[in-house]
Amino acid sequence: MSTESTQSQACCNTPAVVSKGYSPKGDYIEVDGLKTYTTGPKDVKQGILVVYDIFGFFNQTLQGADILAYTDDQKYQVFMPDFFEGKPADISWYPPDTKEKEQKLGEFFNTQGAPQKTLPRIPKIVDELSKKNGIEKWAIIGYCWGGKIVNLSSMENTKFKVAAACHPAMVAGEDAPSITIPYIMLPSGDEPKEDVEKWQKGIKVEHKVEWFPDQVHGWMAARGDLEQEKVKKEYERGYKLVLDFFHKHL
């Protein structure tokens, strides 16, 4: 199992996507001591845990959580904890095209972004929310760095029934054989093709890999420029694919 932290090189029935100035539909609660965005009907029994990218709470990611919660008849309670506790990476560091940006991102991945710091909290968060909110089945979705957390949270004794990783960082073929639940991966044009192909060859459970070769790493989360029509359409299509996969397996 690879937990090495390095920066990544890497028509739908969804609600109308707001390109600028999005107003989130949900609220903030505290879970396991973490500020957590929550959205979706409180009476449904299916939950989705969202693991954001290194930039934390961003309007594009919050809008994505609302899309997951409310799109169609099969709705979800959705939760996005602030694993970085108010200290996400600065989006101006990306892409890391200077020595200073590289250094700052490297420091972040070795401290706040170390997977070993986040992974132990996830079962506790799920257990707390299951008890408080009556959730019986869980899915997990992660973006970029969050995709690695999802990968490592989808192995033996996982709390989840199905997983999704969007433009995932740190894809490692050695992780794939240990995954035990259905898994959808949506790589962008920035993910190393050979890493994804090696991962896909190694996974033994039902899965789907759908490339978005003309999108940048981060288009479904903080780096998605939704004012560009092509990005907006592919953002919508990505969420549609994830929802279809979750509906099938939850």
**Structural domains for the chain:** 27-249 (3.40.50.1820)
> Cα–Cα–Cα angle for 237, 242, 243, nearest 5°?
95
Look at residue 13 and tell me whether its pLDDT is greater than 50: no
173-194, pLDDT tens digit by residue?
Answer: 999 999 999 999 999 999 999 9
189-205, pLDDT tens digit by residue?
Answer: 999 999 999 999 999 99
Look at residue 74 and tell me whether its pLDDT is greater than 80: yes
Q: Which residues pair with 164 in a beta bridge?
A: 141, 184
Contact predicate 173/196, CB 8 Å: no
Token duo for residue 218: 């981060």
pTM of the predicted structure, to 2 decimals? 0.92
113-127, pLDDT tens digit by residue?
Answer: 889 999 999 999 999
**Nearest to residue 169, comparing CAs of 2, 6, 1?**
6
Look at residue 5 and tell me whether its pLDDT is greater than 50: no
Contact predicate 213/7, CB 8 Å: no
Q: In the prediction, which pLDDT does 15 show? A: 53
Res. 6 pLDDT band, cuts 50 70 90: very low
Q: Would you call the peptide bond into 81 cis, given omega within 30 degrees of 0 as the criterion?
A: no
For range 59-75, the mean pLDDT: 94
Cα 138 from Cα 63, distance rounded (Å): 20
**Nearest to residue 219, comparing CAs of 114, 144, 145?**
144
- List all residues 6 or more positions away from 84 whose beta carbon is below 8 Å from its beta carbon: 54, 56, 112, 113
AA identity, residue 18: V
Look at residue 11 and tell me whether its pLDDT is greater than 50: no
AA identity, residue 184: I
Cα 235 from Cα 68, distance rounded (Å): 12
Token duo for residue 34: 């973490």
Res. 104 pLDDT band, cuts 50 70 90: very high
What's the chain's average pLDDT?
92
Q: Which residues pair with 149 in a beta bridge?
A: none
